Amino acid sequence: MPFPHIGQQHVGGGPMQGLVEEFQSLSVGSIPGSLDSGIDAKSLPRPLDGDEEPRILESYPLNCHLRFLRLTTHTIPSSQSLLARWHLPLGAVVTPLAEVPEGEEVPIVNFGTAGVVRCRRCRTYINPYVTFTDAGRKWRCNLCSLLNDVPGEYYCALDATGRRLDIDQRPELSKGSVEFVAPTEYMSSLSQPQMMVVADLDDVFLPLPDDLLVNLSDSRHVVDAFLDSLPSMFQNSANVESASGPALKAAFMVMSQLGGKLLVFQSTLPSLGIGRLRLRGDDPRVYGTDKEHTLRIPEDPFYKQMAAEFTKHQIAVDIFAFSEKYSDIASLGSLAKYTGGQVYHYPAFQAATHHEKLRYELARDLRRETAWEAVMRIRCGKGVRFTTYHGHFMLRSTDLLALPAVDCDKSFAMQLSLEDTLMTTQTVYFQVALLYTSSSGERRIRVHTAAAPVVTDLSEMYRQADTGAIVSVLSRLAVENTLSHKLEDARQLMQLKLVKSLKEYRTLYAVQHRLGGRFIFPDSLKFLPLYILSLCKSAALRGGYADVPLDERCATGYSMMILPIRRMLKLLYPGLYRIDEILTKGTDNLDESLKPLALTSQCLDARGLYIYDDGISFVIWLGRMLSPDIVNSILGVDLSSFPDLSRVQLYEQDNNISRRMMRILKALREKNRSSYQLCRIIRHGEQPREGFLLLNNLIEDQTPGSSTYADWILQIYRQSQSS
């Protein structure tokens, strides 16, 4: 057979449709002189352009933007039997407060004293998909079909086609996303700040429970003075114990009347009082046994109980963990998990190295748009319902997510099921409603509405599949699986879903076409095998005891539960760029010059300088034969006199090469404002740093216990062939 290649096939679909189906195929042939099947690795599909949003708004222009809501396939199967053949998740990824480009703000609608117009049966908010009848006096709910009266003050006549004459002046009838002002008052009175010392760890009480909190703008100078004096207050203390539990209880007592956000800065294992944790450590003998998962779940129920109390009183908790040694992020992180918070992990924190990252991420945490005291519900039309939810929240009833705080960097995944054997509607509608208090104290309801067609054809489900949404749901399912199963089981589960899906797709065409030695897959899912391989090689899932420190594994898991789609895909398949030529020659168009490369060591040239960017850190790789002038210009020092690169800091030097370097780093950081990439510099062949910082993360290469991308494709191909 000829050397393998990728080709596009245009094949007629089933009898139900006259449309042209487009699938991609990969010839799996034998390489001359070898008995093995082979695949030309260069021809494999790679997501070098990052997330590709599906083009849904063209056919559904009234839907909310995909940055707020994406379905795993923009179709709903018409029957249980069709759903049973779709082996991937059927569900959605919701980012209710996603950042919008300037000029595309979500419109604010104030109904005033009339109140927000909603369906009286299912409580759906009025939206672009409702229809008006009876000369404009009634409106039909698009989710439950009930005919509602139009309130007098909301009445408007209809034109000849049944559209309201004022539709263009009404964002709620013409836009997929709106924000309604909810009429409520919210007041709080605050006083002067004081420091609180808790002497008794077992019986925490507040010396002055009523006036410990202050209004920042009124007392800014006092707060600043207190923060300035903090470093010197305890500098002579020899005590390294940590009483996190009692501190949490005290903070809860102070905040419980008001709610808000609690930031916990933890640099050692909690060791005193309630909630103290033992150094259960990472036991290599437990890996591969039924007890393995217990290392990744909280040991003491105190933290989950505390989280439930925090949520009840509208307090979100963010964890900043700094320890070099084990600090049980599995337990501490549950505070963030159930309160809508997040976990920031700075392993082996050094102020000189990490200060810029911490400063940026702390400022982002405090400044980003945040919704307080929130609850979120996703309603859907007849015949479908959401059954499971995945992310950081507390589930208050079967479908109400309690979120003491939620912001633009948080996403939620959920899975759908069909309620009946057969669907009776042609279209299914979804509506996300987030009720919250804005930072200015106004009660708001943010509403996103979308529609999806009901289909009878499996090939249509594949054609409308959204890889980014599928990978986001699967990643969360995999992380959750590691909390009750072995890592190996979680990886197997992901592989099984992929194989079943591709096998089902193959049988769609095997009847009409001789597929022979071709691996076929839908064009919409061409990157899915690579993303699942990347997921299995991620810090949350890869290897076993020796491959990833336990705290890092748990911290990555907590991050993956909240990441929006674009950031998730970047974490799984990071960018790798060669920049030495840009540094020496300059460029007018940085975006065009920064060309992403395949994640394999075959792309690394000893004469080059490369940046690896996973959205959390930069790894800067200096080739062995890279011009010393470039290195000196960037570092400001001669490399030969600097044996330990782990301590090198990058600052702008007074030369063009250094200025261009800083411009490139700035441009890459601006593509992702939610975190700050810390720079790590490594030298070609520098062990062990080159291995664990870069080579182990080049996911197309072979790493201990895992295959190359080409071998993985062969493995998936063989499994999808077998009956």
Whether 22 shows a pLDDT value over 70: the answer reads no
Burial of 678 (0-12, 13-18, 19+ CB in 10 A): middle
Q: To the nearest whole number, what is the mean pLDDT of the chain?
A: 90
Looking at the predicted structure, is the pLDDT value of residue 521 above 60? Answer: yes
Q: Out of 406, 428, 444, pick the residue that ends a domain.
A: 444
pLDDT for residue 284: 85
**649 near 352, Cβ under 8 Å?**
yes
Structure tokens at 285: 């003998």
State the helix-helix crossing angle for 487-510 and 467-481, rounded to 10 degrees. Answer: 140
Identify whether 187 is part of a domain: no
**Cα angle at 283 between 281 and 284, to 5 degrees?**
145
CATH of the domain at 159: 2.30.30.380
Distances (CA, A) of 687 to 12, 493, 621, 695, 697: 54, 34, 13, 10, 15
Q: Are 307 and 374 part of one and the same domain? A: no
Q: What is the pLDDT of residue 38?
A: 66
CA distances (Å), origin 553, targets 142, 544, 545: 44, 10, 10
CA dihedral 350, 353, 358, 360 (to 10 degrees): 170
Query: Looking at the domain assignment, is residue 545 inside a domain?
Result: no
More confident of the two residues 391 and 208: 391
CA angle, corner 92, sides to 89 and 94, nearest 5?
145
Q: Is residue 481 part of a domain?
A: no
pLDDT 10s digits, 645-665? 888 889 999 999 999 999 999
Asked whether residue 358 falls in the same domain as residue 333, the answer is yes
Tokens standing for residue 193: 């700040």
Query: In the listed set 444, 463, 486, which residue is the last one of a domain according to the structure?
Result: 444
Q: Give the C-alpha separation, 693 to 677, whole Å.
A: 14
Q: Are residues 356 and 393 located together in one domain of the fold?
A: no
Residues 684-688 have a mean pLDDT of: 92
Task: Note whether 505 and 520 are within 8 A (CB).
Answer: yes
Segment 474-493, tens digit of pLDDT: 999 999 999 999 999 999 99
Share of the chain above pLDDT 90, in %: 76
DSSP single-letter state for residue 472: H
Nearest to 485 by CA among 694, 296, 236: 296
Q: Is the domain of 614 the same as that of 658?
A: yes
Q: For the residues 121-145, what does the mean pLDDT come to?
A: 97
Beta strands 678-683 and 617-622 are parallel
Whether the pLDDT of residue 561 is over 90: the answer is: yes
CATH number of residue 432's parent domain: 2.60.40.1670
Provide the pLDDT for residue 567.
97
Crossing angle of helices 550-560/565-572, nearest 10°? 150
Mean pLDDT of 10-24: 42
What's the confidence (pLDDT) of residue 554?
97
Q: Please report which confidence band the pLDDT of residue 111 belongs to, taking 50, 70 and 90 as the band edges.
A: very high
Same domain, 587 and 668: yes
Do 336 and 416 have their domain in common?
no
Q: What is the pLDDT of residues 417-436, one digit of tens each?
A: 999 999 999 999 999 999 99
H or E element, residue 707: none
Residue 667's pLDDT band, with cuts at 50, 70 and 90, is very high
Q: How far is CA 381 from CA 36, 375, 423, 453, in A?
A: 51, 20, 11, 12
Which tokens sit at 145?
A: 């079909």
DSSP 8-state assignment for residue 196 = -
Both tokens of residue 384? 């479908």
Give me the phi and psi of 231, to 5 degrees please. Answer: -60, -35
Residue of 689, 543, 697 lying closest to 616 (CA atoms): 697
Q: Of 188, 320, 192, which is closest to residue 259 (Cα–Cα)? A: 188
Sorting pLDDT into bands at 50, 70 and 90, what band is 188?
Answer: very low
Give domain status of residue 591, yes or no.
yes
Same structural domain for residues 348 and 388? no
Non-local (6+) Cβ contacts of 687 within 8 A are none
Query: Is 268 exposed, middle or buried, given 0-12, 13-18 or 19+ CB atoms closer than 10 A?
Result: middle
The pLDDT, as a whole number, for residue 395 is 96
Domain identity same for 294 and 394:
no
If one counts the domains in the chain, the total is 4
Q: Among residues 367, 386, 417, which one ends one of the domains?
A: 367
Strands 91-94 and 131-133: unpaired
pLDDT of residue 207: 55
CATH number of the structural domain spanning residue 656: 3.40.20.10
Identify which has the larger pLDDT, 323 or 24.
323
**Each residue of 431-462: pLDDT tens digit?**
999 999 999 989 999 999 999 999 999 999 99
Confidence (pLDDT) at 210: 58
**Cβ 24 vs Cβ 7: under 8 Å:** yes
In a domain, 406, yes or no: yes
Distance (Å, whole) CA 620 – CA 622: 7
Could you give the CA distance from residue 550 to residue 723 in angstroms, rounded to a whole number?
Answer: 39
What pLDDT band is residue 29 in, cutting at 50, 70 and 90? low
* H-helix or E-strand spanning residue 9: strand 6-12
User: Which structural domain, as residue segments, surrounds residue 336?
Assistant: 255-367
d(CA 324, CA 21): 54
Confidence of residue 639 (pLDDT cuts 50, 70, 90): confident
Nearest to 437 by CA among 184, 674, 698, 203: 184
In a domain, 469, yes or no: no
Q: What sign does the dihedral 455-456-461-463 (CA atoms) show?
A: negative
636 and 653 together in one domain:
yes
b/e map 351-386, b = 16+ CB within 10 Å = eebbeebbebbeebbeeeebbbbbbbbbbbbbbbeb
Alpha-carbon span 714 to 716, nearest angstrom: 5
Same-domain check for residues 355 and 384: no
Query: In the prediction, which pLDDT does 662 show?
Result: 97
pLDDT score, position 8? 39
pLDDT number for residue 209? 53
State whether 579 and 687 are in the same domain: yes
CB 657 within 8 A of CB 584: yes
pLDDT in tens, 355-371: 999 999 999 999 999 99
- Residue 647 falls inside a structural domain: yes
What is the chain's alpha carbon radius of gyration, rounded to the nearest angstrom?
Answer: 28
Q: Give per-residue pLDDT as tens, 262-284.
A: 999 999 999 999 999 988 866 78
Nearest in space to 568 (alpha carbons), one of 619, 610, 597, 527 = 527
Tokens of 68: 């707020």
- Whether omega for the bond prior to residue 89 falls within 30 degrees of 0, making it cis, is no
Q: Do 96 and 126 fall into the same domain?
A: no
440 domain residue, yes or no: yes
Parallel, antiparallel, or unpaired: how do β-strands 315-321 and 609-613 relate?
A: unpaired
pLDDT for 12 equals 35
